[in-house]
Structure 1
Amino acid sequence: MTHLAPNSPHARDVASVLHPYTHARRHLETGPTIFSEGSGIYIHDDTGRAYMEGASALWCASLGFASERLAKVAYETMRRMGYYHIFRGASNEPAIDLCEKLLAIAPVPMSKVLLQCSGSEANDSALKLVWYHWNAQGRPEKRKIISRKASYHGSTVATICLTGIPDFHKGFGMPFEGFLYADCPHYYRDHEEGETEEQFSQRMADALEEMILREGPDTIGAFWADPIQGGGAGALPPPARYFEKIQAVLRKYDILMVADEVICGFGRTGNMWGSQTCGVVPDIVTCAKALSAAMQPISAVLMNERIFQSVMTQSDRLGSFVHGFTYAGHPVAAAVALETLRIYEEMDLVAHVKALEPIFLRAFGALKDHPLVGDVAGHGLMGGVELVQDKAKRRPFPEGQKIGAKVDAHARERGLILRTTADRVALSPPLIITEEEIVEMAARLRGALDDTFAEIAA
């Protein structure tokens, strides 16, 4: 820590802050990058250096990094009331208006909205609703949950078990029993020679059915999936007819479909919902992030009438629906989220993303000629660049080579912030991005790939 100036924000940070998803010991030596302001798709650190944000921070800064309009809404709501809960029948108009709006734009007919404070909370609450539903139906044995390998669904005790990434479980004694992981539908990496996308999807569905039969259909409560697989898989679109075939299996065995729209929702994929883009017909939808353009912490769970009927049945039996978080339905967060949805309508967000989609896919798709790139795929303004050691054999780099981290570091040097896994670069820029900025972002990524290739070839 001797290289950090005493009493500087960097030194104070390492002395007091434990950072999520950060190497705790190494951080004491390196210190933080402190970001101080933003404008449009650019975020600025405390030295004044500007970076293009290629990942919308954590997938969520859909309107960029500052908004006078949303700030005024937050101020006015805070000035009038500031806070009140929605427990025991209490309510507030922003929460009511927001729930009505979410039902109006839902991907399929939904009955009620349960407001929460984060994507993790939304998925955690949806998990409880799945168990609550089957208990109400007199089928408490339908408790096991199937998600997918390389999926990410949150960091609570329950949602980290939904998350299908073993590294996230290490050290915590997780996952708990009852959480199962279907194959990640990564066509590029895992398809057999001559196998079409549709044939691959059928193989995924057959494997899911085998898992269900092996475990016992009467023990499976729900299947959890983000329409385009985000965090762990790196913005991975499903292969052709994947969800059509998966949902046929789920219907056969009366298993609920939960769509995690925390990343995909609100225009990101070229439709209002990723479910619409990928053909998902969910019983429950979870959403967050772009719901408020990340300007306030808020999330929501949308449930269909079948699930709500079970909530009423259990309320009759138990006297109340006993679940909630103190800040759920917070009037300031709800007001900001509602205004965010108005902004999306005014800018015709879905049409904007659809218009930019071919430019986005073409600009980054051109990287397929790079020696480090095996494939590029995406929808809307969400896509992934597959990094490979051997293009002909589709072979990734050894994990210890940390190729993604190398690309990320070189991109930072070029003023571009990315989200990388071991062998994939995920792209999800703010939805206000322009055609010119897309082209510039792709050029900076190509430069980072060139720098990485030169480094590993040296």
Structure 2
Amino acid sequence: MTVAPNSVEARDIAYHFHAYTNAKKHREVGPLVIDRGEGIHVYDVAGNRYIEAMAGLWSVAVGFNEQRLMDAATRQMQRLPFYHNFTHKSHGPLIDLAEKLVTMMPVPMSKAFFTNSGSEANDTAMKMIWYRANAMGEPQRKKIISRERAYHGVTIASGSLTGLPANHRSFDLPIAGILRTGSPHHWRDALPGESEEAFATRRAEELEELILAEGPETIAAFFGEPVMGAGGVVVPPATYWEKIQAVLRKYDILLVADEVICGFGRTGAMFGCETYGIRPDIMVMSKALSSSYLPISALVANDRVLDPIVEETDRIGTFGHGFTAGGHPVAAAVALESIRVIEEDGLVGRAARSGARLLAGLRAMSGHRLVGEVRGVGLIAAVELVTDKEAKTGLGQPGQLGGLVAGHLQQLGVITRNMGDSIAFCPPLVISENEVDELLGAFGKALDRTEADLSAA
């Protein structure tokens, strides 16, 4: 890439250290600088238009120019631009949002606690769980189970819950006390001839074996995404969550549902827990909570979790945890408006319909030489790319094939993301049927161009 001196791209290279980026390679390839957004599209500084097929980072549910959210931010900024919730203080938007979240949950919940990102919310859930164990006189009950390929964030604690090697290497993660059980990816991890239900049974048995080996009295909680996101859009097999929950109930282990990606319509229901019959003790949410117009996240917990914590705060005098901007009034006002738009515009049902069209179109490409598996639910999907369908393998380096297809998609005006050799699709919930078809057409062309590249090599 040739970068003009003093251009916006040159200044980015000079001054900006990027997330999830090869910093040395960035000096050579430079950034794609996005200038504005409209509906499901974003435009770069050169005026090129792209379908944002990842909704930014799995998160812009209502599209990139929803005026109602902008107006909500302006009104609140003019009235009360900042306040906090420390030491018995509060404010209207935080109270309204807490009430809305608690009352809309798919299972009985008690209170909401506000943070700024999914990472912080999962980190907070861990701290609450440890605090609760001490409050109950069970200081040994601190271990937490997560899964291979899970994604729960990038702080030291939540990054340890994450089950992706790139989030651990050179960071000295994970920390002690994090246990790992197998992913629910049937296509990749099942034994030859093993049905989805048999695979789910085996995963539940492996979880129970882990619990017994560690000692049930030492296990505090299990964290899980209803559908794994950054691990490759891994959709759980039939009966998986039913069997996992039975094991957790047997040993009195808390269940934390990470709804950061799944929440607010993505799976074709308001929450992924509804889609899969999950009954968690804590639900963690962010991203579509405010459509990512402003940073905000929350966890909602039930009385089983909170009652011992409340008593402990009285015993020692405080709950010594919180964030300056947790429940920020402007972010809370925008989150409330985002939820209203999702509800009033029927975006959950729209996601189910658009998602069915997207999945049908992707599955119609299953015969392509490079397509190994198509998976998804609601308006979230992934295509696993292969060069050898029987061996389920791609090119020599994992992610190389996915990178080629993602690169062609960007050239065709679609921004997506390859997680290894899986191409993810998670467009804004407002996507139309015609836009779904446009996205499918571009993906088909990207597959063909990549196949031509490989044939010519």
Give the TM-score normalised by structure 2. 0.98
Show the counterpart of 1:308.
Answer: 306
CA distance in 2, matches of 1:438, 1:400: 28
Show the counterpart of 1:129.
Answer: 128
Could you tell me which amino acid in structure 2 is paired with residue 10 of structure 1?
A: E
Is 395-404 or 339-348 further displaced after alignment?
395-404
Query: Shift of the alpha carbon at 1:55?
Result: 0.8
CA distance in 2, matches of 1:211, 1:219: 11
Query: Shift of the alpha carbon at 1:401?
Result: 6.3
1:351 pairs with 343, 349, 352, which one?
Answer: 349
Is 206-215 or 398-407 further displaced after alignment?
398-407
Contact 1:397 1:423 in 2 (8 A): no
Show the counterpart of 2:101.
Answer: 102
Which segments of 5 or more consecutive residues in structure 1 lack a partner in the other structure?
A: none
Residues 111-133 of structure 1 show CA distances to partners (whole Å, capped at 9, x for unaligned) of: 00001111111111111111111
Contact 1:264 1:274 in 2 (8 A): yes
CA distance in 1, matches of 2:138, 2:397: 43
Show the counterpart of 1:93.
Answer: 92
CA distance in 2, matches of 1:49, 1:358: 29
Residues 261-307 of structure 1 show CA distances to partners (whole Å, capped at 9, x for unaligned) of: 00000000010000111121100000000000111100000000111
Residues 151-202 of structure 1 show CA distances to partners (whole Å, capped at 9, x for unaligned) of: 1110111111000011211111111111111111110112222211000000
Show the counterpart of 2:421.
Answer: 423
Contact 1:59 1:263 in 2 (8 A): yes
2:321 pairs with 306, 319, 323, which one?
Answer: 323
Contact 1:399 1:422 in 2 (8 A): no
1:202-351 alignment to 2 at 5 Å?
A: 202-232=201-231, 234-351=232-349
Contact 1:50 1:415 in 2 (8 A): yes
**Closer/same/farther in 2, CA of residues 391 and 258 from structure 1, 3 Å limit:** same
Query: Shift of the alpha carbon at 1:450?
Result: 1.0
Contact 2:348 2:429 in 1 (8 A): no
Matched, 1:404 2:371: no
Contact 2:200 2:238 in 1 (8 A): yes
Could you tell me which amino acid in structure 2 is paired with residue 88 of structure 1?
A: T
Query: Shift of the alpha carbon at 1:400?
Result: 4.7
Show the counterpart of 1:174.
Answer: 173
CA distance in 2, matches of 1:418, 1:30: 17
Query: Shift of the alpha carbon at 1:396?
Result: 4.3
Matched, 1:450 2:453: no
CA distance in 2, matches of 1:354, 1:30: 37
CA distance in 2, matches of 1:74, 1:244: 41
Show the counterpart of 2:119.
Answer: 120
Query: Shift of the alpha carbon at 1:16?
Result: 0.8
Aligned length: 456
Contact 2:76 2:333 in 1 (8 A): yes
Contact 2:313 2:319 in 1 (8 A): yes
Could you tell me which amino acid in structure 1 is paired with residue 106 of structure 2?
A: P
Cα root mean square deviation, aligned: 1.2
Identity %: 48
Contact 1:161 1:174 in 2 (8 A): yes
CA distance in 2, matches of 1:319, 1:88: 11
Show the counterpart of 1:149.
Answer: 148
Residues 320-365 of structure 1 show CA distances to partners (whole Å, capped at 9, x for unaligned) of: 1111000011100000000111111111222222232321221111
1:377 pairs with 375, 378, 384, which one?
Answer: 375
CA distance in 1, matches of 2:116, 2:307: 24
Could you tell me which amino acid in structure 2 is paired with residue 373 of structure 1?
A: V
CA distance in 2, matches of 1:397, 1:429: 27
Query: Shift of the alpha carbon at 1:389?
Result: 2.3
Contact 2:356 2:379 in 1 (8 A): no
Contact 2:399 2:421 in 1 (8 A): no
Contact 1:418 1:427 in 2 (8 A): yes
**Closer/same/farther in 2, CA of residues 77 and 138 from structure 1, 3 Å limit:** same
CA distance in 2, matches of 1:354, 1:231: 21
Could you tell me which amino acid in structure 2 is paired with residue 344 of structure 1?
A: I
SS of 1:145 mapped into structure 2: strand
CA distance in 1, matches of 2:117, 2:221: 21
Show the counterpart of 2:50.
Answer: 51
CA distance in 2, matches of 1:270, 1:83: 34
Contact 2:386 2:401 in 1 (8 A): no
CA distance in 2, matches of 1:6, 1:261: 43
Residues 309-328 of structure 1 show CA distances to partners (whole Å, capped at 9, x for unaligned) of: 02211112110111100001
Query: Shift of the alpha carbon at 1:411?
Result: 0.6
Show the counterpart of 1:196.
Answer: 195
Could you tell me which amino acid in structure 1 is paired with residue 313 of structure 2?
A: S
Could you tell me which amino acid in structure 1 is paired with residue 37 of structure 2?
A: G
Show the counterpart of 2:386.
Answer: 388
CA distance in 1, matches of 2:211, 2:394: 31
CA distance in 2, matches of 1:352, 1:35: 27
**Closer/same/farther in 2, CA of residues 30 and 367 from structure 1, 3 Å limit:** same
CA distance in 2, matches of 1:248, 1:412: 44
Show the counterpart of 2:436.
Answer: 438
CA distance in 2, matches of 1:260, 1:14: 34
SS of 1:294 mapped into structure 2: coil
CA distance in 2, matches of 1:164, 1:179: 10
Show the counterpart of 2:64.
Answer: 65
Contact 2:399 2:419 in 1 (8 A): no
Could you tell me which amino acid in structure 1 is paired with residue 312 of structure 2?
A: Q
**Closer/same/farther in 2, CA of residues 433 and 213 from structure 1, 3 Å limit:** same
Residues 67-126 of structure 1 show CA distances to partners (whole Å, capped at 9, x for unaligned) of: 222111111111111001111111110110001110111121100000111111111111
SS of 2:392 mapped into structure 1: coil
CA distance in 1, matches of 2:394, 2:216: 36
